[in-house]
């Protein structure tokens, strides 16, 4: 059996942020799976079968990828950003746990530049001190747990990267998250709304938390809330290395 599965991150958008390791895996692959817009970022070529799928099909997509690899295909499962951060790698291991018949599939996880790193780089260095990353999607966890984590993150004075701040089905969760952080004393903190970073639609907006509005984010936005010391220098935003 010569099949394998590479779970790969395509970075935030631009091809210049795809690692050579991921490009090499795509060159060797026979099949590429992923959410349709991400599969669409992989250049078509003869011998590479695209398998685009819908959003929210993560577990099915992971199982399909494992099955193809078990059958001897060379499979790349693509995420945007990094596959290990709120993306497909965890879904693959969930599928593997549910179906031990695939336990001998050769799997590699190929890291990438996750959205918060690309957003931070565009703004300056807001993640230059201790920070956390919270997925605001409550599809897989209860909303009160998210609020609890935001309160504790505020108390820890972490900079906070918010993934999936908006969705069509639950447009209000970012508004509530901003309220929770405001109640926790973060009203003066700087907030970065970074959308579609490294693509032609890139847009970066910076406001204080008390002036932040959920409408500033869309489905392609990564939000970073600074810590209490995050500040401006010229057009840049950064968190000093020393303690606030």
Alpha carbon distance 198, 200 (integer Å): 7
Alpha carbon distance 223, 220 (integer Å): 10
* Lookup: tokens for 194: 């970074």
The interface mask with its own copies, positions 15-44, x = CB under 8 A, is xxxxxxx--x--------------------
By CB under 8 A, name the one of 114, 164, 195, 221 that touches its own copies: 114
Are 170 and 198 a contacting pair, CB within 8 Å?
no
Residue (95 or 216) nearer to its own copies, CB: 95
Alpha carbon distance 28, 24 (integer Å): 6
What is the smallest separation between the CB atom of 239 and its own copies, expressed in angstroms? 6
Q: Is 186 in the site for its own copies (CB under 8 A)?
A: no
| Residues within window 70-109 making contact with its own copies, judged by CB under 8 A | 82-87, 89-94, 96-97, 103, 107, 109
The interface mask with its own copies, positions 115-144, x = CB under 8 A, is --xx-xxx-xxxxxxxxxxxx----xxx--
The dihedrals phi and psi of 16, each to the nearest 5 degrees, come to: -70, -5
**Binding region for its own copies (CB under 8 A) out of 64-72, 156-164, 170-178, 200-208:** 156-164
Residue (47 or 234) nearer to its own copies, CB: 234
Are 165 and 221 a contacting pair, CB within 8 Å?
yes
What is the smallest separation between the CB atom of 222 and its own copies, expressed in angstroms? 12
**Rounded to an integer, what is the distance from CA 105 to the centroid of its chain?**
25
């Amino acid at each position: 059996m010569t099949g394998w599965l590479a779970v790969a991150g395509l970075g935030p958008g631009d091809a210049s942020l795809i690692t050579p390791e991921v490009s090499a895996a795509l060159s060797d692959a026979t099949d590429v799976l992923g959410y349709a817009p991400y599969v669409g970022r992989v250049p078509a070529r003869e011998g590479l079968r695209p398998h685009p799928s819908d959003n929210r099909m993560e577990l099915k997509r992971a199982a399909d990828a494992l099955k193809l690899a078990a059958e001897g295909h060379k499979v790349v499962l693509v995420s945007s950003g990094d596959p290990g951060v709120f993306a497909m790698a965890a879904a693959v291991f969930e599928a593997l746990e549910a179906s031990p018949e695939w336990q001998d599939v050769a799997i590699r996880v190929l890291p990438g530049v996750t959205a918060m790193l690309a957003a931070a780089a565009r703004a300056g260095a807001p993640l230059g001190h201790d920070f956390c990353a919270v997925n605001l999607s409550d599809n897989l966890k209860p909303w009160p747990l998210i609020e609890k984590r935001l309160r504790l993150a505020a108390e820890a004075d972490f900079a906070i990267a918010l993934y999936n701040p908006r969705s069509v089905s639950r447009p209000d969760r970012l508004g509530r998250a901003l309220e929770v952080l405001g109640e926790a004393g973060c009203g003066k903190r700087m907030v970065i709304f970074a959308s579609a970073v490294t693509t032609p639609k890139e847009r970066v907006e910076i406001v204080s938390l008390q002036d932040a509005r959920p409408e500033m984010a869309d489905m392609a936005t990564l939000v970073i809330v600074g810590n209490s010391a995050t500040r401006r220098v010229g057009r840049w935003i950064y968190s000093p290395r020393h303690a606030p």
